[in-house]
Structure 1
Amino acid sequence: MTTAPAPAGSPASFEEFFHAEYDRLRRMTAMMLAGDVHQADDLVADVFVLLLKRWEHVENPHTWMKAVISRRVIKAGKTHRRNQTRLRQLWATDRHGLADPVLLA
């Protein structure tokens, strides 16, 4: 005798979704983050926590996860570029506060 799958929105179906999709979403996220597996682990785990909180209201969890992960990867990229610009400016400034135009390029 087989048991019927858990209805959408139930904890069992979330657990099934998590086990079925985690590795694939982690690989997708790592590829989007240029191979940074550790950052991908953190990001996917955070998004799964959000999904669990909203599980009863999300109609298509796979699409929802991909959309949220994509937005977070884009945001992380913008933050990284902004931080790189700040670091470049910091390193280009000597101890007297004068900027080196060659290093700012």
Structure 2
Amino acid sequence: MNPQDHERFRDFVDARWSALLRLANLLTGGDRHEAEDLVQIALLKALGRWRHIEDPEGYVRKVMYRHQISRWRLRRPHREPTFATPPERLGVADGTSAADLRITVSGALARLTPRQRTVLVLRYFEDLSETEVAAALGCSVGTVRSTTHRSLARLRTLAPELGLPGQNATTAPHAMSLKGART
């Protein structure tokens, strides 16, 4: 790798590390160590092909998605993570509601299956269309739709405070609740 490519790669990592780590944190269900590993693996693969990559961010994200898929395929019987329940809302307008929402969403996402969590992260945090999610995960659009529907239903069960229990899975409040939890 020539010095110019090396410098471009270093600048990319410096500029995008935080965003990539946030995405990896969501994909891994909040496991900071696994998230760091996921980003590092993706960056290492990108480094090997750096001269040939036109869209570095897209390439690294796609590697992260696919590597995470491989991880949950290998770990069929996976351990269930244990998380403390978020504190009850006190109804005080002290600016902590956004933090409470992030904690609630993170806890609920962590209790979803890796596939469900990945589909929701790609659809609502990454703002990808169903077609783009299907292409990234290597499945059909119908699979993305049904997984999204089941995932939102499960999310409503795990964290009913995110929206009204009777709402349809495609209504905007759920998507807005998820997007509002972004860090």
* In structure 2, distance between residues paired with 1:59 and 1:79: 31
Q: Which runs of 4+ in 1 moved over 2 A?
A: none
Give SS of 1:81's match. coil
CA RMSD of aligned residues (A): 1.6
Aligned 1:94-105 pairs, distance under 5 A: none
Gaps of at least 5 residues in structure 1 are: 1-8, 85-105
Bigger relative CO (Cα 8 Å, ≥ 6 apart): 2
- Selected match of 2:75 from 77, 80, 88: 80
* In structure 1, distance between residues paired with 2:56 and 2:43: 10
Paired position in structure 2 for 1:13: 8
Identity of aligned residues (%): 29
Q: Tell me the amino acid that sits aligned with residue 12 of structure 2.
A: F
Please tell me whether Structure 1 or Structure 2 has the larger radius of gyration of its CA atoms.
1
- Selected match of 2:63 from 68, 81, 84: 68
* In structure 2, distance between residues paired with 1:45 and 1:58: 17
* In structure 1, distance between residues paired with 2:9 and 2:29: 28
Matched, 1:22 2:54: no
Gaps of at least 5 residues in structure 2 are: 80-183
Q: Tell me the amino acid that sits aligned with residue 72 of structure 2.
A: G
Q: Tell me the amino acid that sits aligned with residue 48 of structure 2.
A: K
Give SS of 1:10's match. helix
* In structure 1, distance between residues paired with 2:67 and 2:15: 22
Q: Tell me the amino acid that sits aligned with residue 20 of structure 2.
A: L
Q: Tell me the amino acid that sits aligned with residue 22 of structure 1.
A: W
Give SS of 2:62's match. helix
* In structure 1, distance between residues paired with 2:60 and 2:44: 11
